[in-house]
Chains A and B, each alone.
Chain A
C-alpha cells in the first residue's frame, strides 16, 4: 500500500493538541509505518511551500487544532483544506474557539493596547504597537492581521469531522485512526460527514459518582471544601459542567476529583452550552418553605454566588455560542425601572 500523508497544524492554540497526538505512544509507530507526515510545524521541518507543492487532495488527513485568530491561521486552514481529503477539527479551540475564544469579550485594539502599553511589566515609552506592515531598508516586513473576533475552523473552511476535547483523549484519537486505517486498508466506510468523535450523551452519563437529590444553598470553589470523591460535584455545591457537556472523555477530571469545565462542548441537542449549564445550575438551588417570602433581590443575591457566569459556562465555547461576542450598548440607563407590585 502506498503511504498516506497526514498533516497537523496549530492555529490559535497552546500546542497541547500536538502533544496529544504524540501521546498515543507506540501507536504512533503504527501511524508512521502507514503514513508520512506532510506538514506538522511542531514536529517536522516541512514548510508551507511544501504543502503548496502538493496536488489537491494530496494529504489524506489533516488535524487542525487551535482557533482561527489571525489571517495566517485562516490562510493555512484554507490551504490545508484544499490539499486534504479529510479535515478534522481537532480539539476544543478548533471546534468551539476554546480558551482563546474568550478574547471575544474584547477586541484587537483593546488587547494590543493592554498588552503593549498597560501591563505592569511593560516598559514601552514610545508606545510602540506591532504593525501588520513595516518598511525597513531591506524591504517590506509583514505580520499576520489579528482578527477582532475569534473564529472556529468551520467558520472558515468545510470540516469533515470534529474531535473536541482539551486536548482530545488518546482513546478518541485511536478510535479515529483505527477507522481511517480500516478505510484505507480494507475499504471500510468512513463515518458520515460532520460526525463528532465522542459520545452523544452528556458527561453525567459517563461519570461514576453517586447522584441523588440536588439542592444546594452555597456554591463552593473546588479549593474551599474537601470534595467527596464518591458524590456528585453539583450536590456538593461545586460548579461542574457535566450536565451541559458532551461525554466521550471518560470523565477524567471527575476521576481526579476535579469538576468538569466543559471542554468537550455541548451535545448535539443544544446550541449553547452556557445556556444549558446556566439552566441546570440555577435549578439546583434549594427551594425552601420560605421561598414565597423571597424577593427578586434575594434571588439575585443567591445567584450572585456564581461570580463569573460567562467565563464559567462558556470557558471553551464562546465563539460557537448564540451571542458569540461582546456587544456595546449605546445608552446606559441610569435608574433601574422597577415595578412596584
Chain B
C-alpha cells in the first residue's frame, strides 16, 4: 500500500460518520435488561449512551426534543412490557406520548424512525442487544440528524 493510499483511507475514516444514539432505560426493567446484555458479554456497536430514568414515563417529550436539538441521531426509549410497569401504568403513558411525539417529529421534517419505543424486560438482555443493533442500522441508513446540517 502506497503512502498516498494510506492517506486517503485515514481521510475517509475521519470523515466517516458514526451515529450517536441516546437510550432512555427505565430503572426497573430495561436498565436491568441492558445490564444483563453487558454482563452476558453480548456484542453491540458502541454508538449509544444510556440514560437511566426511574420510569419510561419520566422521559419528558422535552428530553427527546432536546436530544435531537443537540444533535443526537436517534433516540430509543425502553420500558417495561405492558402490564409489567413498576408504577402500574407509567408505560401506558409512555406509549401514547411516544406515538404522538413521532407524529410531531414527522411534522418537523424528521424521519419518525429516529425515535423508537421498545419494551425490554430485566431478563431480555438479548432483546436489548438486538434492538440496539437494529436501531443503529436504521439510523445509519437514515444518515446524520438533519438539524446538524443547518
**B65 touches which one: A272, A311, A336 (CB < 8 A)?**
A272
Q: How far is it, in angstroms, between the C-alpha of A333 and the C-alpha of B138 when the chains are bound?
A: 9
- In the complex, the answer to whether A331 meets B141 with C-beta atoms within 8 Å is yes
- In the complex, the answer to whether A285 meets B96 with C-beta atoms within 8 Å is yes
- In the complex, the answer to whether B96 meets A332 with C-beta atoms within 8 Å is no
Which residues of chain A (277-311) have a CB below 8 Å from chain B?
278-279, 281-283, 285, 287, 291-292, 294, 296, 299-300, 302-304, 306, 308-311
- Say yes or no: is A256 at the interface (Cβ < 8 Å to chain B): no
- Say yes or no: is B126 at the interface (Cβ < 8 Å to chain A): no
- Say yes or no: is A270 at the interface (Cβ < 8 Å to chain B): yes
Q: Mark B113-150, 1 if CB is under 8 A from A, else 0.
A: 10001110000000000110010011001110011011
Which residues of chain B (85-111) have a CB below 8 Å from chain A?
89, 92-93, 95-97, 99-104, 107-111
Q: How far is it, in angstroms, between the C-alpha of A274 and the C-alpha of B150 when the chains are bound?
A: 22
Residues of A within 8 A of B66 (CB): 271, 322
- Say yes or no: is A258 at the interface (Cβ < 8 Å to chain B): no
Q: How far is it, in angstroms, between the C-alpha of A334 and the C-alpha of B93 when the chains are bound?
A: 29
- In the complex, the answer to whether A326 meets B109 with C-beta atoms within 8 Å is yes
Q: Mark A249-286, 1 if CB is under 8 A from B, else 0.
A: 00000000000000000000011101110110111010
**A275 touches which one: B62, B111, B137, B150 (CB < 8 A)?**
B62
- In the complex, the answer to whether B62 meets A303 with C-beta atoms within 8 Å is no
Which residues of chain A (303-341) have a CB below 8 Å from chain B?
303-304, 306, 308-311, 313, 321-324, 326-333, 336-337, 339, 341
Q: How far is it, in angstroms, between the C-alpha of A337 and the C-alpha of B138 when the chains are bound?
A: 7
Q: Which residue of B lies closest to A293 (CB)?
A: B82
Q: How far is it, in angstroms, between the C-alpha of A278 and the C-alpha of B92 when the chains are bound?
A: 14
Please report the total number of B residues contacting A with Cβ < 8 Å: 42
Residues of B within 8 A of A287 (CB): 89, 92
**A278 touches which one: B61, B82, B146 (CB < 8 A)?**
B61
Q: Which residue of B lies closest to A283 (CB)?
A: B93
- In the complex, the answer to whether B110 meets A329 with C-beta atoms within 8 Å is yes
Q: How far is it, in angstroms, between the C-alpha of A322 and the C-alpha of B75 when the chains are bound?
A: 16
**Which of B107, B117, B142, B149 is the most central at the interface, judged by chain A CB atoms within 10 Å of its CB?**
B107
- What is the distance, in angstroms, from B103's C-beta to the closest C-beta of chain A? 5
- Say yes or no: is B31 at the interface (Cβ < 8 Å to chain A): no
Residues of A within 8 A of B109 (CB): 326-329
Residues of A within 8 A of B65 (CB): 272, 275, 321-323
Q: Which residue of B lies closest to A334 (CB)?
A: B141
- Say yes or no: is B51 at the interface (Cβ < 8 Å to chain A): no
- In the complex, the answer to whether A309 meets B104 with C-beta atoms within 8 Å is yes
Residues of B within 8 A of A282 (CB): 93, 96-97, 99-100
- In the complex, the answer to whether B62 meets A270 with C-beta atoms within 8 Å is yes
- In the complex, the answer to whether B147 meets A327 with C-beta atoms within 8 Å is yes
- Say yes or no: is B42 at the interface (Cβ < 8 Å to chain A): no
Residues of B within 8 A of A291 (CB): 82-83, 92
- Say yes or no: is B68 at the interface (Cβ < 8 Å to chain A): yes
- Say yes or no: is B18 at the interface (Cβ < 8 Å to chain A): no
Residues of A within 8 A of B141 (CB): 331, 333
- In the complex, the answer to whether B111 meets A310 with C-beta atoms within 8 Å is no
Q: How far is it, in angstroms, between the C-alpha of A222 and the C-alpha of B22 when the chains are bound?
A: 38
- What is the distance, in angstroms, from A54's C-beta to the closest C-beta of chain B? 38
- Say yes or no: A274-B104 contact (C-beta < 8 A), given A283-B96, A291-B92, A328-B109: yes
17 A-B pairs besides A279-B97, A327-B149, A339-B118 with CB distance below 8 A are A272-B62, A276-B62, A279-B60, A283-B93, A309-B103, A310-B107, A311-B107, A313-B104, A326-B108, A327-B108, A327-B109, A330-B143, A331-B141, A332-B111, A333-B111, A333-B138, A339-B130
A residues apposed to B, CB below 8 Å: 105, 270-272, 274-276, 278-279, 281-283, 285, 287, 291-292, 294, 296, 299-300, 302-304, 306, 308-311, 313, 321-324, 326-333, 336-337, 339, 341
A-B contact pairs, 14 of them (CB 8 A): A275-B65, A278-B104, A283-B96, A296-B95, A300-B99, A303-B100, A327-B109, A327-B147, A329-B110, A333-B111, A333-B113, A337-B134, A339-B131, A339-B134
